[in-house]
Structure 1
Amino acid sequence: MLHWLVLVGSGLFEAVWATALSKSEGFTKLVPTLVFAVSVTVSMGGLAFAMREIPVGTGYAIWVAVGAVTTVGWAMATGAEPISLLRIAFIVGIVGCVIGLKLTTH
């Protein structure tokens, strides 16, 4: 169970580093660059830890999905990206696929 929690947590840090990367303006802004560096290290470290017990395909797909859904959700919540029913439907589709992968992992 711990490995799954770490995987989801590291996926959340993926959203942090992706957002910080966009705010760093090509690593020219100090604070977003530092947030990126710390969060990418935590994110990758968590992914590496989780993959000691979780199959690589499932683990990576879940990590990416958690990061992508959180990043898009944050961007929509802050007004950086538009909100539409179609976008929300696709996000729900990503979540559904990840749940399917988890349910079929032995």
Structure 2
Amino acid sequence: MTIAPAQLSDPVVAAFVTAVNAHDKEAFLAVLTADATMSDDGSDRDLHAWIDKEIFSSGGHMNVQSESDGGRSLVVDYRNDTWGEMRTAWRFTIAPGGGRISRFETGQA
């Protein structure tokens, strides 16, 4: 059973998922700190190049299956036009003050 973004425990992570699913790059970037970083399968990636390729130019979509760590760790059925659908794990670091994501890590679950 999928968890709707509005039902996620962490509102910042919920905004991230909502922006991905709406293909709203402006809202997506607004939820990240200016110096946000990310990794994919354990390797740091260029955030802007990665999101363009894996999310915004390929129709990325997150179906959240479960959450833990107060909503900062998700198991997601992620799909895009490049890779199809795969089960992925996402971990989020929220910047001090709680308003934005300073790092996210994803990889196969």
TM bin (shorter chain): 0.3 to 0.5
Between structures 1 and 2, the one with greater helix share: 1
- Higher Cα Rg, which structure: 1
Higher RCO (CA < 8 A, seq sep 6+): 1
Q: Which has the higher strand share?
A: 2
Question: What's the TM-score, normalizing by structure 1?
Answer: 0.33
TM-score by length of 2: 0.32
